[in-house]
Amino acid sequence: MPDFVKTRRDGAVFEVELDRPKANAIDLVTSREMGEVFRSFRDDAEARVALVTTAGDKFFCAGWDLKAAADGDPVDGDYGVGGFGGLQELRGLNKPVIAAVNGMAVGGGFELALSCDIIYCSEGSRFALPEINAGTLADAATIKLPKRIPHHVAMEMLFTGRWMEADEALHHGLVNAVLPADQLMDHARGIARQLADGPPLVFAAIKEVVREAEDKAFQDVMNRITKRQLETVDIL
């Protein structure tokens, strides 16, 4: 079985690389693999910071693999630990997680970046939530995006499915920095090493407090999103 999720340790930094041609899209097998990898990071006492990236420079991640779905991957199948892409497992981590976005982050791929604490991207990166064009909601991004950027900008993206370029993403605070493609990983690794030398118990406390402040509302809203998605599918 192909290994689409690769990991490596650099001291206390745990690197995760999604490498699934052609667009780093996520099918059921890859989703389960990602969840297990994030759980492995959670349980590794020596790993203090995760750095999430993907192979190539065209697509960071295209989200759900629509071809796999057309070929028989059930939409309501077993995504594995943490649900789709292991994102709930990722969101529940008490360690810092950095995303290095190198290309287009689309749909669930955009959600993958939004599930990280810090986002750096290359100059050619772009972000979009095109689910509206299929007549459905953008899952957790419907909740997460308005918390990252101004409400009216988030609503425009959710309503239209339009692209956001890297410079606009920086302007609105979606990403922490925009780097030339050949400097992205060096920069992200440098910050990851800096955090790895920081106080892990304080980092955990910060993430716990932030998460507890939003968890109940988050789950309630996710339940409503799922309900509305089903209603929308019925209407279509």
212/12: higher pLDDT: 12
Give residue 54's identity as a one-letter amino acid code.
T
Is 225 within a domain? no
pTM of the predicted model, to two decimals? 0.89
Is 20 within a domain? yes
pLDDT band at 55 (very low <50, low <70, confident <90, very high): very high
What is the tally of structural domains in the chain? 1
On the question of pLDDT at 235 being above 60, the answer is: no
Question: Looking at the annotation, which residues are catalytic?
Answer: 111, 131
Question: Across residues 138-144, what is the average pLDDT?
Answer: 87
Separation between Cα atoms, residue 177 and residue 27, nearest integer Å = 30
Q: Are 58 and 102 in contact (CB under 8 A)?
A: no
Quick one: DSSP state of residue 1? Answer: -
Q: Are 47 and 85 in contact (CB under 8 A)?
A: no
Q: Tell me the sheet residues that pair with 26.
A: 64
Tokens 């943490």 correspond to what residue? 82
On the question of pLDDT at 18 being above 90, the answer is: yes
pLDDT in tens, 178-223: 999 999 999 999 999 999 999 999 999 999 988 887 766 666 656 6
pLDDT at 210: 86
pLDDT at 8: 97
3-state SS, 73-123, equals CCCCCCCCCCCHHHHHHHHCCCCCEEEEECCEEECHHHHHHHCCCEEEEEC
Is 124 within a domain? yes
On the question of pLDDT at 23 being above 60, the answer is: yes
Is 101 within a domain? yes
Range of the domain at 192: 5-196
Is 209 within a domain? no
| Cα dihedral value 42, 44, 47, 53, nearest 10 | -50
Is 107 within a domain? yes
pLDDT at 70: 77
Question: What is the pLDDT of the chain when averaged over all its residues?
Answer: 90
CATH number at residue 192: 3.90.226.10
Tokens 């629509």 correspond to what residue? 66
Separation between Cα atoms, residue 225 and residue 210, nearest integer Å = 22
Angle 191-195-199 (CA atoms, 0-180°, nearest 5)?
A: 165
Strand 13-18 relative to strand 164-165: parallel, antiparallel, unpaired?
unpaired
Is 31 within a domain? yes
Is 138 within a domain? yes
In the chain, pLDDT over 70 holds for what percent of residues? 89
Give residue 95's identity as a one-letter amino acid code.
K
Q: Are 99 and 133 in contact (CB under 8 A)?
A: no
pLDDT at 16: 98
Q: Are 177 and 170 in contact (CB under 8 A)?
A: yes
